[in-house]
Structure 1
Amino acid sequence: MDTRRRESVKRFQDGRENVEHDSRSSRPSTSKTDEYIGKVGILIRSDRQLSIRAIAESIAIDKECVRQILHENFNMRKVCAKLVPKIFTFEQQEARKNICIDTLNAIENDSNLSERVITCDESWFFAYDSET
């Protein structure tokens, strides 16, 4: 039997009836100071796409402290947005295939088309024509 368990058993044998943990003094948080909160605020305002890990590494504090600061002091939550679903329905697959075929046919018909295409993201593309 380890020491903690022995102490608990002894307390109950001595008449203790409460099973709740005793309050104890915990180690104070050293990373959640006003200085670190300010540093996290400056970093997150400069680039909102920084990860918790990147912020923690740049100011040399624990990731959990960064997460708590973002959550409690700046009321920020982790949000993930996916623009393209991982599993397409049959109709989505067909539509995507048809768009690709149309694009390939357009490139075959106009060899300069690929020089005039400006990509924006995975979903859209724009063709630039200097005459229009």
Structure 2
Amino acid sequence: MLKKAFGDETLSGRNVYKWHKQFKEGRESVEDEERSGRPSTSTNVKHVKQIKDLVLKNRRLTIRDLIDITGISFGSIQTILKEHLNLRRCAARLVPKTLNLFEKERRVNVYQEMISDYETVMERIITGDETWIYAYDPEIANQSSEYRAKGEPKPKKSRQSRSKIKVMLTVFFD
């Protein structure tokens, strides 16, 4: 009956029975009573602004980094990020190689140069293989994740751009 009358705003059955019992025992006020316990001081306006400024300056900060910088507890920072700032952690969206016009042109020129240099050698080759050797491995999705608000687009990251420094290792057998 309560669900029909009040919809989603209805108290759960358990809470209805608890309130009924308290009123039957003599309670007259519907206001919250004083409770023992430590008041929440970490989620005040000052800390929310401090966390917001830090995250907007560097979106890749982790909660542990924010703990070290501010001295606020893990749970409080998590509450500030999720409930007060409406931020969530987003991994970068992987896209195919992002080559600009000059990089594409350079690839064509290098290929044509290699073909002209090795035309006579190509006749004797039985088999060959090639691979790229990178200077360092790319970041994993966790390492490149950032805090973003709900409406903001995900950051993009090239799938193959592992390093600016790479060498092509080519092996031929004749």
Relative to its length, the structure with more strand (as a share) is 2
Higher RCO (C-alpha 8 Å, min separation 6) = 2
**Larger helix proportion, structure 1 or 2?**
1
